[in-house]
Amino acid sequence: MAASSSVSKMTIADMTMADLMRERPAVVPVLLRRGLACPGCAMAPFMTVREAAEAYGLELDALLDDLAAADSRPAPSLKEPQSAIAFDFIGKSVKSGT
């Protein structure tokens, strides 16, 4: 692993989850796919990526690799309509937008 990659991983590992999601929104789907409830969690401003990986029993380096890969992907164009899944007040999924 290159030295700059190690430094980058250490920096991300010590970011709070809230800072990570705010500064790198492309990582949110990775967090959800891995089962982390960080988006919307009251602990996100206080828990680091390292602490979250430990709390969820995830291997830190693998999580950091997934986060880095997601962050390097271009964001979807805002000009193209995006379909989304929303949840109504009783938790049923409802497809919205086209």
- Per the DSSP assignment, residues forming a β-bridge with 85 are 95
- Mean per-residue pLDDT over the chain, rounded: 77
pLDDT of res. 57: 96
Give the CATH number of the domain where residue 83 resides: 1.10.3910.10
Count: domains in the chain = 1
The tens digit of pLDDT for each residue in 17-53 reads: 999 999 999 999 999 999 999 998 999 999 999 999 9
CA dist., res. 98 & res. 92, Å (int): 19
Domain range enclosing 69:
3-96
> pTM score, two decimals?
0.65
CA dist., res. 43 & res. 47, Å (int): 6
pLDDT of res. 72: 78
